[in-house]
Structure 1
Amino acid sequence: MAHPASPFLSVLILLLVAAVTAVAILVLSGWVLPMLKPNNPKEAKLRVYECGVPPLQTGARHKYSVKFYLTAMLFILFDVEAAFLLPWAVNFKHALWTFGAMLSFMGTLLVGFIYAWGKGAFEWER
């Protein structure tokens, strides 16, 4: 009767394949591909934008309005609401006992919505 292989042999093989793949990608992208592509930089290619509107400010220290971040946070809030609400609504007949939990969740979101509305979060021009 043959001795069975170690249960970790497949994990070792997977790690070796991953390491070889990573090294191959680095070698190909760093040494082989630059030899295959043409290297002819032109002034237009080295500019910040090849097309479109030129940047108004240079550098990465441009200050954005807080309204952009507020809009993103409100989007995430209501997107998560939809992500929780849709599976619950689809499975409502089988999960009727979760109605109280969903009412609590919707109530919490309603309080947050009223608070954001009262603070003027939905008014872009102010």
Structure 2
Amino acid sequence: MRIPTLLILFIFVPFLAFLLLGINILLAPNKPDESKLSPYECGFSVIQGQTRSVFHIHFYLVSMLFLIFDLEILLLFPLAVSLYQVNVFGFSVAILFFFVLTIGFVLEIGSGAIKFIDSKKIE
């Protein structure tokens, strides 16, 4: 009787994960000091009345745009590899995909969710 490959993976991967976690727990150095045990691990003392710093949402928006377009490029690879084998239907589905993404991007810019501003005005 032949054991299916997926069954081996479902047994081997959890075993390997627990084995590596166990080795890490046993062999990793554990030397906590005062700064590591404090709420702020960076070592800075707490400023009374302020628990967080100012963070501009612009960086978050840029990262979300990068993620969306990165996934778009990832979904473009299978089409680019098999472009000679797909027929007109496959090509039209890819064009429709890019059209929907373009409409979403234009709507985000039009609604003001993404504001392209000068970096000197952020400060």
TM-score by length of 1: 0.55
CA RMSD of aligned residues (A): 3.8
Query: Is 1:25 aligned to 2:38, yes or no?
Result: no
User: C-alpha separation between the residues in 2 aligned to 1:90 and 1:20?
Assistant: 39
* One-letter code aligned to 2:27: L
Paired residues, what number?
A: 97
**1:28 CA drift (Å):** 1.9
- SS for the counterpart of 2:52 is coil
Match of 1:98 in 2: 90
State which of 58, 61, 65 in structure 2 corresponds to 1:74.
65
User: C-alpha separation between the residues in 1 aligned to 2:91 and 2:82?
Assistant: 11
Query: Is 1:121 aligned to 2:114, yes or no?
Result: yes
TM-score by length of 2: 0.56
* One-letter code aligned to 2:71: V
Structure 1: which 4+ aligned runs deviate by more than 4 Å?
Answer: 17-21, 57-60
Structure 2: tracts of 5 or more residues without a match:
2-6, 32-40
State which of 80, 86, 95 in structure 1 corresponds to 2:77.
86
Q: Deviations over 1:71-110 (max 9, x none)?
A: 1111111111111113212211111231121111011011
Distance 1:28 1:82, change over 3 A: same
User: C-alpha separation between the residues in 1 aligned to 2:109 and 2:18?
Assistant: 52
Q: Deviations over 1:44-93 (max 9, x none)?
A: xxx948xxxxx8x9686223122111111111111111111132122111
